[in-house]
Structure 1
Amino acid sequence: MIRRPASHFTIVFQALFVTFLWSTSFIIIKIGLKDLSPLLFAGMRYFLAFIILFPFLFNGKNLGNLKKVNKADWYKLLVLGFLFYTITQAAQFIGLSLLPSVTVSIILNFTPLFVAIAAILFLNEIPTALQWVGVILFIMGVFVYFYPLKFSGGYLSGILIMLLGVLANALSSILGRSVNREAKLEPVVITVISMGFGSIILFIISLIVEGLPDLSLISLIYIIWLAAVNTAFAFNLWNLTLRSLTAVESSIINGTMLIQIAFLAWIFLGENLTFGKICGMIITSLGAFLVQAKKRF
C-alpha cells in the first residue's frame, strides 16, 4: 500500500503542535523550579534527552554519516554544544527562576537581532531594508513592553543573565548555520553530538554548584516529560516539518510561541498582561519576523 504524503495543512498543524509543546516547556519549568534548582533542572533535562536520542545515531543512515565527521566538524559541534546547551539553556533556566515566563520569551526574541548583527561582523551579510525596519520595530516593541523602565535587583539580574544567554544563542545560530550550510551532516548527528557534550558539561557544573538532587516523583515526571516529549519527540517532528515548510512559514509558526507562552502563563501561572505589554509583544513579534526576512526591497 502506497502512503500518501501528508497534506500541507497537516504539516502546518504538526509544526504548530511542536511550538505548543515548546511553549508548555516554559510553564513546566516555572512550576518545576519551585522544587528544583535551575542548573540541575536544565542539566538533567538535556542529558536525559541526549540518552534518549543517542540510539538514533546507530541506524544505517546516521551511522554512515557519523563516520564522515572529521576533526574540524567535531570542533564545531563541541563548541555548538557548549554555546547552545551549556550557556544558553543554563541562562534560560536561571532567567525563568528570576523573571516571568513572558519576559524571558520576549528577551529570547532578541536572538534574530543579535544574529543579524553577528552576520554583519562575521559573515559580511548586510541586512535588507525590510530587516532594518524589523530591527526598529523590535526595539520599539521591547520598549513598549518594559515601559516604564523600573527594574528591581533580582529582575535586572535576570535580564542580564538572559541577555548573556541570547548572545550565546545567537553565536550558536551562526555556527549552526555554518554547519548546516555544508549539508554534510544529518540533523540527528549534529544534535546528538552537540547536545551530548553541552548537556554533560552543564550537568557536571550543576552537581558541583548545586550538589546531588533530592528528586520528588513530580519533579522526576517534569524532567522525563521535558526530555522525552518536549525535546526528543518535538525535535524529530520539527525536523520532519522543515522538509516541507518554507523558511517564512517555519519562521511565522515559530513566532507564535510568544503569544502561546503569554496565554499559557496567564492560565497556569497567573501572569497578568496589561494592554501595553500585549501591544509590545505584538510589535516585537512582527519585528523579530521581519529581521529574519530574506526578501530585498
Structure 2
Amino acid sequence: MFRAIGWRRSSHFTAVSQALFVTFLWSTSWVLIKIGLVDIPALTFAGLRYSLAFLCLLPFFWRSKGTTELRQLNQSGWLRLIALGLIYYALTQGAQFVGLAYLPAVTVNVMLGFTSVLVALLGLGLLGERPSLWQWLGIFVALGGGLLYFYPVQIPQGQVVGFVAAAIGVLANAGAAVLGRSVNRVGQLRPLTVTTVSMGVGSGLLLIVGVATQGLPALSWQSWAIIGWLAVVNTAFAFTLWNVSLRTLSAMESSIINNTMAVQIPVLAVLFLGEQLNGREVLGLVVAIIGALLVQLGRKRKGST
C-alpha cells in the first residue's frame, strides 16, 4: 500500500513538473516571437511556425490511426473541426503575432487574459452554461484590473493596429475556446486528432495569406532556428507533454498551472525584452490575473446547482 501511495505522489509530482515546464516553454514563446518579428513578417511567421508544428504532429497522428476517427465524422463534425482550425490558428494566432509586432508583450498578455471572461459570457449564450457567483466576481475583478492597467487610456497612433489585432485575437480565442469545448463534448475525437487536423487547416491558410500579403523574405539561420524551436519544441513537443500531464492532473490543477503564464510572460518580457512596468501597471496586472483565475476556477461542475 505504501508503495502505491508513494507511486501516486511521485506520479502527481511528475505531472505537475511536466505541466509547469510546458507553461514555461509557452511563456518563452512570447520572447522568441518578439525577437523573430524583427526580421520575419507577422502572418508569415505564424504560418511557418504552425505549419511546421503540424508536420511534426502528422506522423503521430498517422501512427495512432487518426484517420479511422475522421472517417466516423459526419458533416457537422467536419465543419466544427474546420471552423476550429480557422478561428483558433488562422485568426487567433495570426492576430496575436500582429499584436506582438506593434505592442509590448505584457500589454498583449493582459488583453489575452480577458479570454476567460469572454468564454464565461459566451458560454452563457451559446452553451447554456451559467457563470457561478465566483465567476461573476472574477469577471468584475478582471475588468477592474484591466482598467487599472490601461488607465488613463491613451493609445499612440503607431499602436492602434496592434490594439485592434490583439482585440480580434481575444475575441477569436474566446470563440475558439467555446467551439473547442463543443467539439470535445461530443467525445468522438482524441485531443491529438482535434489538434492535428485543426492546426493543419488553420496553419495552411495562415501561411498562404502571410506569403501572399507579406511575402517570404530571405531569412537568416537565426530566424529559421527560432521558427524551428517554436514549432518543434514549444508547439509539437509541449502539446504532447501537456496532454501527458493531463492524464494525472485535475481540471482545476491544470487551470491553475496554465494561469502561471500570466505571471511568467511579464517577468520574461522585463528580463529579456527590456519592457518596463510601473507600480500601477503591476497592480492592475495582478488584479486582472486574480480575476481570470476566479473565472477559471469558479466554473460549475456538472450536476451542481
Which bin holds the TM-score, normalised by the shorter protein?
Answer: over 0.9
For 1:17 and 1:212, locate their aligned partners in 2 and report how far apart those are by CA, in whole Å. 32
User: Does structure 1 residue 187 correspond to structure 2 residue 158?
Assistant: no
Corresponding residue of 2:4: none
Q: Provide the secondary structure at the position in 2 that maps to 1:11.
A: helix
Query: Which residue identity lines up with residue 273 of structure 1 in the other structure?
Result: L
For 1:284 and 1:272, locate their aligned partners in 2 and report how far apart those are by CA, in whole Å. 18
Equivalence map 1:271-282=2 (5 Å): 271-282=275-286
Corresponding residue of 1:211: 215
TM-score, scaled to structure 2: 0.93
Q: How many pairs align? A: 294
User: Does structure 1 residue 112 correspond to structure 2 residue 116?
Assistant: yes
For 1:64 and 1:191, locate their aligned partners in 2 and report how far apart those are by CA, in whole Å. 15
For 2:64 and 2:279, locate their aligned partners in 1 and report how far apart those are by CA, in whole Å. 53
What is the CA-CA distance between 1:61 and the residue it aligns to? 4.8
Give CA deviations for 1:137-195 in whole Å, capped at 9, x if unaligned: 00011011112221111223312211111111111111100111111101111011100
> Is the CA contact 1:57–1:66 (under 8 Å) kept in the aligned structure 2?
no
Q: Which runs of 5+ in 1 are unaligned?
A: none
Q: Provide the secondary structure at the position in 2 that maps to 1:271.
A: coil
Q: Provide the secondary structure at the position in 2 that maps to 1:151.
A: coil
Classify 1:229/1:60 alpha carbon distance in 2 versus 1 (closer, same or farther; 3 Å). closer
Identity, % of aligned pairs?
49
User: Does structure 1 residue 154 correspond to structure 2 residue 158?
Assistant: yes
User: Does structure 1 residue 142 correspond to structure 2 residue 151?
Assistant: no
User: Does structure 1 residue 55 correspond to structure 2 residue 59?
Assistant: yes
Classify 1:36/1:131 alpha carbon distance in 2 versus 1 (closer, same or farther; 3 Å). same
For 2:212 and 2:38, locate their aligned partners in 1 and report how far apart those are by CA, in whole Å. 20
> Is the CA contact 2:84–2:176 (under 8 Å) kept in the aligned structure 1?
yes
For 1:232 and 1:101, locate their aligned partners in 2 and report how far apart those are by CA, in whole Å. 23
Corresponding residue of 2:257: 253
User: Does structure 1 residue 294 correspond to structure 2 residue 302?
Assistant: no
Which of the numbers 200, 203, 219 marks the counterpart of 1:199? 203
What is the CA-CA distance between 1:275 and the residue it aligns to? 1.4
TM-score, scaled to structure 1: 0.95
For 1:123 and 1:154, locate their aligned partners in 2 and report how far apart those are by CA, in whole Å. 38
For 1:204 and 1:160, locate their aligned partners in 2 and report how far apart those are by CA, in whole Å. 22
Classify 1:61/1:244 alpha carbon distance in 2 versus 1 (closer, same or farther; 3 Å). farther
- Aligned CA RMSD, in angstroms, stands at 1.5
For 2:257 and 2:75, locate their aligned partners in 1 and report how far apart those are by CA, in whole Å. 36
Give CA deviations for 1:27-80 in whole Å, capped at 9, x if unaligned: 000000011110010000000001111111112453433332332221111100
For 1:276 and 1:23, locate their aligned partners in 2 and report how far apart those are by CA, in whole Å. 23
Q: Provide the secondary structure at the position in 2 that maps to 1:215.
A: coil
For 2:282 and 2:119, locate their aligned partners in 1 and report how far apart those are by CA, in whole Å. 25
> Is the CA contact 2:11–2:248 (under 8 Å) kept in the aligned structure 1?
no
User: Does structure 1 residue 178 correspond to structure 2 residue 182?
Assistant: yes
Which of the numbers 282, 288, 301 marks the counterpart of 1:284? 288
For 1:27 and 1:251, locate their aligned partners in 2 and report how far apart those are by CA, in whole Å. 22
Equivalence map 1:236-247=2 (5 Å): 236-247=240-251
Classify 1:164/1:60 alpha carbon distance in 2 versus 1 (closer, same or farther; 3 Å). closer
